Structure 1
Amino acid sequence: MNNSEEYIYKNECYEIIGCCMSVHSELGAGFLEAIYQEALEFEFNREALPFEKEVGIEVSYRGEKLNKNYFADFICYGEIIIELKAVKTLEDSHYAQLLNYLKATEKKIGLLINFGAKSLQYKRVIM
């Protein structure tokens, strides 16, 4: 992977993570994921950050659309998939979930955000 691919949407990711840090600073750990999602939506609106919430992601098999969909917590700037968690620590399955979202949408970048730890955890995932 070259340097230009590694840092795509750098400023946008910085803004998103900043909003997540604000939410975690205010609420701390211990709430349900849905609470963090609502608070983050508030923060995105406050910062005038473009986003869509609970976006359906279609999956195809051999060229046919399947009936079951994934749902991304947010897609920001039309390109960055945000997957929220409220767990003690991130696990490989959380990372795999975001990779599946990226694969299904053919988007290049996602952020895995965990509000459940003592300090905010985030992982920038590039496809």
Structure 2
Amino acid sequence: MKNENELSKIIVDCAFKVHKNLGPGLLENTYEVCLHHELSKRGLKVEKQKGLPLIYDEIKLEVGYRLDILVEEKVIIEVKSVAAFDDVHFAQILTYLKLTQCKLGLLINFNVPLIKNGIKRVVNKL
């Protein structure tokens, strides 16, 4: 079983491949589906649009949170196709990390000329 850093390297490699083939400017869903496909081809357990309930006062609440991609139940990927990351994107993935107890999240913005400039690691300091 791979750790978060090993998974991160595979995810970044797959993101590079998707970006190389599609380029910037498409809808987020397009990149999400293609990234899911690339990760699945690598033999990883990958879940797309996974519902994430909020537990409040011992009650499970379905409040509409959805993880774009969850890899091996360890790494959350939030796919974007935006001009630039905004504080709300970081807040979103931090919230998901806290709710899932995952340690690592990757914000990946495919709407950039060089994909390396569109990948941000976000660590949950449990």
Tell me if 1:52 matches 2:47: yes
What residue in structure 2 maps to residue 93 of structure 1? 88
So what's the TM-score if we normalise by structure 2?
Answer: 0.89
What residue in structure 2 maps to residue 37 of structure 1? 32
Count of residues in Structure 1 that have an aligned counterpart in Structure 2? 120
**Superposition RMSD in Å:** 1.3
Tell me if 1:83 matches 2:93: no
What residue in structure 1 maps to residue 108 of structure 2? 113
So what's the TM-score if we normalise by structure 1?
Answer: 0.88
2-structure distance, mates of 1:67, 1:35: 26
Tell me if 1:122 matches 2:119: yes
Return the offset for 1:89. 1.1
2-structure distance, mates of 1:126, 1:67: 25
Which letter does structure 2 place at the counterpart of 1:17? V
Which letter does structure 2 place at the counterpart of 1:67? E
1-structure distance, mates of 2:44, 2:114: 23
Identity %: 38
Tell me if structure 2 keeps the 8 A contact 1:88–1:116. yes
**Alignment match of 1:65 (pick from 42, 60, 64):** 60
2-structure distance, mates of 1:27, 1:11: 25
5+ unaligned residues in a row in structure 2: which ranges? Answer: none
1-structure distance, mates of 2:33, 2:97: 23
5+ unaligned residues in a row in structure 1: which ranges? Answer: 1-7
